[in-house]
Chain A
């Protein structure tokens, strides 16, 4: 079984709809992240959470919100989807360490906003 799972894997929605992307992990990691990937722009951080009570904005958080329901679950919501939010979305997890903590990525969700 995969350590980091994302649901759904593919989603097509319409402009203005609210949608939620979910991430679950069985790695026992305390830190979780949401990224989006666009051709030519690379991976960009949307939100990150160092524990259940800690939520932080990344570089492109406008139009998104998150919820850390438990240590193992981190959800990303688009309150009112717009076409330029069409992208690949990845969840990642890491374990707090003394030196750099390696992030492990999920399989991704391909989101299309029409």
Chain B
């Protein structure tokens, strides 16, 4: 069964304190792995798509990496405005178009 597990569930950081969020997945043929940011009561905002192991993408303080079993979202020198829930999702080759989401990691960055 295709599955996505994110850890930790919640993470508290001081401003400037770098860390990583983990997304472990099992899928029958990976078509894509997606990272989203979600603010309370709002729709998920697209961040990155990764397609193959070894791929990396960056955007401001965020960097996403991918291996055959997991993905990391690295946050460098975070700011309070980075506080949000970060969602990971996978798209399997056998279920083209459908995303399977993890439960998310809620990040709080304190000034």
User: Does the CB pair B46–A108 fall under 8 Å?
Assistant: no
User: Does the CB pair A40–B34 fall under 8 Å?
Assistant: no
Does B69 make an interface contact (CB < 8 A)?
Answer: no
Once A and B bind, how many residue pairs between them come within 8 Å at the CB atom? 58
Does A110 make an interface contact (CB < 8 A)?
Answer: yes
The complex places the Cα of A88 from the Cα of B49 at a distance, in Å, of 24
User: Does the CB pair A102–B87 fall under 8 Å?
Assistant: no
Q: A99-B51, A100-B91 are in contact. Are A48 and B43 (CB under 8 A)?
A: no
User: Does the CB pair B99–A103 fall under 8 Å?
Assistant: yes
Partner of B43, one of A40, A99, A108: A108
The complex places the Cα of A33 from the Cα of B95 at a distance, in Å, of 14
Note all chain B residues with C-beta closer than 8 A to A43.
Answer: 44, 87, 89, 99, 101
Q: A105-B44, A107-B42, A108-B41 are in contact. Are A100 and B101 (CB under 8 A)?
A: no
Note all chain A residues with C-beta closer than 8 A to B104.
Answer: 42
**A45-B98, A90-B44, A99-B51 given; 7 more Cβ-contact pairs under 8 Å:** A43-B87, A58-B98, A100-B51, A101-B91, A101-B97, A105-B36, A107-B43
Chain A residues in contact with chain B, CB under 8 A? 4, 31, 33, 40, 42-45, 48, 50, 58, 88, 90, 94, 99-108, 110
Can you list 25 A-B pairs with a CB-CB distance of less than 8 A?
A: A4-B43, A40-B103, A42-B87, A42-B101, A42-B102, A42-B103, A43-B89, A43-B99, A45-B98, A48-B98, A50-B97, A58-B98, A90-B44, A99-B31, A100-B34, A100-B49, A100-B91, A101-B32, A102-B34, A103-B46, A105-B43, A105-B44, A107-B43, A108-B43, A110-B41
